C-alpha cells in the first residue's frame, strides 16, 4: 500500500501546520502488539500490567523525568478491578511517582482518544504542562457480559432511543447495511482489503517502530505449563484473506445478514500511550516533538445505527478546528457542504484512521465523507489488526504518527463510532 501526499497546501491546511508556543505537542507514542483475546500472546496478562508497560515506555523513550508528568488519563471499557484504582497501580508500578494523579474514562470505543483529548484540554487551559493519555483493554478478561432490559428502569425504557442503546452491536451493523443499502459483497471487499493492507504492512516491517515488544507469560490450556514469550507483532493479522474466502463465512447475527466474523473487528487485548506537553515546555526540556494535537469533537447519532458516528464526528471536528460559532445540524447538512463551510476539503487531510468496528459502518462513513479509499487505514484497520475497546483510540494515534513518518504525510484524522450511538474524531499534525 502506498500513500500519495499532495505538495500543494491550502490556506486552511497552512493554518493547521503553523507552530505556536502554546500548542499541545506529542512527545512520545507507543503501543503494545494487539493480540487475539483468549488465544493470543496477552491472554494471560492482566490489563494493569499491559498498561504499566506502555506508561513506562512512553516517558522512558524520550528520556523524560517521570516526576514532571502531572496527570494521566486512561481509557478502559471493561474495568474488572476498580477502574481508576488499577490505572493508578499501573502508573506506580511503571515508576511514575505518587505525586502524579490518574483517572480512568469510559466512552466505549473512543475511550483511548477521550483520554488523550482530556490531557490535551488540561494543557490547553494551563492546568498542567505534561501528561499522558492512554488506553488499555483485556477483552480476554471481562468481554461478553450481556445485559437484559430487566436490569434497567422500565421508565427509562419507555424512551425508544434509550431502549435502542441495548441493541447488540452486531444488529446495529445489520441496521446500517439495511438502511443504507450496503451488500454483503461490498462489506467483504472492504474487509479483504483491510486484511491485505495489514498483512503487507506486517510483512514489510511497517509496524515495527510503533510496537513495544513485551515479554509475557502464557499458560498452556492443556498442560497448564507457563512459558515466557516475546509479544512483538499483531497476531490477528492474516495472510491470504480474499473476498472469496470471506464469502464462505456464515452471518453472525441474523440468518440472512451481511455481518460475520471476517468483516467485523476482532476481539483483542492491548495497550497504548501518548505523552503530551505544551510546546514551549517540550522545547525548554529538549524533548523530541513527533507532532501536535489540533482538535477533537464528539457527536451523538441514533443508537440503532451507532456505527455511523465517524460520518458526523469528522466534519464536526473540522468546525471546532476553525472555531466557527454555529452548531452542526447532523441530519441536514451533508459532509461535503460542511467541509466547504469550514474552508477544508478532503484533500487537506493526508489520510484517515477510521476504526473498523464493522465493515458496514466504516464503509458507510468513508462513502459519506467522500474520501478516496487509498487515504483510509493505510496499513489496515481493526478488522485485520483487532479492536481492544479502550485501547483503540490511543492506538490509532500511534499508528497514525508512524504512517505519517513513513510516507511524509502531515495532517491526519482519527475517528471511531461509539456504542450506544456516538462518534468521535480528532485532527493531528505530524512534525517528523
- Active site residues per annotation: 109, 387, 417
Grid coordinates representing 275 are 505523552
Span between the terminal Cα atoms of the chain, in Å: 21
CA 355, 356, 359, 361 dihedral sign is: negative
Contact predicate 187/362, CB 8 Å:
no
Helix (H, G, I), strand (E, B) or coil at 241: coil
Residues near 7 by beta carbon (within 8 Å), at least 6 away in sequence: none
Which single residue is written with the C-alpha cell 488499577?
A: 86
Which single residue is written with the C-alpha cell 487485548?
A: 269
Q: What share of the chain is helix, strand, coil (3-state, %, to 5)?
A: 40, 20, 40
User: How would DSSP label each residue in 368-387?
Assistant: HHT--GGGB-TT--HHHH--
CA 125, 294, 394, 398 dihedral sign is: negative
Contact predicate 287/151, CB 8 Å:
no
- 315, HSE (Cβ side, Cα atoms, 13 Å): 28
Contact predicate 194/377, CB 8 Å:
yes
Instruction: Report how far residue 9's alpha carbon sits from residue 2's, in angstroms, rounded to the nearest whole number.
Output: 20
Q: How far is CA 6 from CA 13, 65, 349, in A?
A: 12, 39, 10
Contact predicate 264/228, CB 8 Å:
no
Amino acid at each position: 500500500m502506498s500513500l500519495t501526499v499532495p505538495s500543494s497546501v491550502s490556506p486552511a491546511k497552512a493554518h493547521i501546520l503553523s507552530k505556536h508556543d502554546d500548542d499541545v505537542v506529542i512527545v512520545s507514542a507507543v503501543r503494545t502488539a494487539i493480540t487475539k483475546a483468549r488465544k493470543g500472546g496477552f491472554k494471560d496478562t492482566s490489563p494493569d500490567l499491559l498498561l504499566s508497560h506502555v506508561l513506562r515506555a512512553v516517558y522512558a523513550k524520550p528520556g523524560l523525568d517521570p516526576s514532571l508528568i502531572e496527570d494521566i488519563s486512561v481509557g478502559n471499557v471493561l474495568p474488572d478491578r476498580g477502574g481508576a484504582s488499577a490505572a493508578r497501580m499501573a502508573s506506580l508500578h511503571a515508576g511514575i511517582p505518587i505525586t502524579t494523579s490518574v483517572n480512568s474514562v469510559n466512552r466505549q470505543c473512543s475511550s483511548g482518544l477521550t483520554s488523550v483529548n482530556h490531557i490535551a484540554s488540561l494543557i490547553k487551559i494551563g492546568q498542567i504542562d505534561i501528561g499522558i493519555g492512554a488506553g488499555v483493554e483485556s477483552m480476554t478478561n471481562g468481554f461478553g457480559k450481556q445485559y437484559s432490559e430487566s436490569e434497567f428502569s422500565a421508565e427509562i425504557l419507555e424512551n425508544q432511543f434509550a431502549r435502542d442503546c441495548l441493541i447488540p452491536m452486531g444488529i446495529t451493523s445489520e441496521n446500517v447495511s439495511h438502511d443504507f443499502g450496503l451488500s454483503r459483497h461490498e462489506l467483504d471487499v472492504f474487509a479483504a482489503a483491510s486484511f491485505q493492507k495489514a498483512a503487507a504492512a506486517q510483512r514489510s516491517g511497517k509496524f515495527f517502530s510503533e510496537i513495544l515488544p513485551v515479554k509475557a507469560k502464557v499458560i498452556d490450556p492443556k498442560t497448564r505449563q507457563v512459558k515466557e514469550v516475546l509479544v512483538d507483532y499483531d497476531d490477528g493479522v492474516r495472510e491470504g484473506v480474499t473476498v472469496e474466502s470471506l464469502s464462505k463465512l456464515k452471518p453472525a447475527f441474523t440468518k440472512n445478514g451481511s455481518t460475520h466474523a471476517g468483516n467485523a473487528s476482532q476481539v483483542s487485548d492491548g495497550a497504548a500511550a501518548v505523552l503530551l506537553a505544551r510546546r514551549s515546555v517540550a522545547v525548554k526540556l529538549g524533548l523530541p516533538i513527533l507532532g501536535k494535537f489540533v482538535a477533537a469533537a464528539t457527536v451523538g447519532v441514533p443508537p440503532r445505527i451507532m456505527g455511523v458516528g465517524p460520518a458526523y464526528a469528522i466534519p464536526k471536528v473540522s468546525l471546532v478546528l476553525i472555531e466557527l460559532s454555529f452548531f452542526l445540524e447532523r441530519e441536514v447538512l451533508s459532509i461535503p457542504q460542511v467541509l466547504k463551510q469550514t474552508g477544508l476539503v478532503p484533500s487537506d487531510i493526508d489520510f484517515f484512521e477510521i476504526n473498523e468496528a464493522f465493515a458496514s459502518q466504516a464503509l458507510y462513513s468513508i462513502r459519506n465523507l467522500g474520501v478516496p479509499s487509498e487515504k483510509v487505514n493505510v496499513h489496515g484497520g481493526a478488522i485485520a489488526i483487532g479492536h481492544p475497546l479502550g485501547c483503540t483510540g490511543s492506538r490509532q494515534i500511534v499508528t497514525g504518527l508512524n504512517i505519517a513518518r513513513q510516507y511524509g504525510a502531515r495532517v491526519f484524522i482519527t475517528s471511531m463510532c461509539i456504542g450506544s450511538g456516538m462518534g468521535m474524531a480528532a485532527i493531528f499534525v505530524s512534525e517528523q
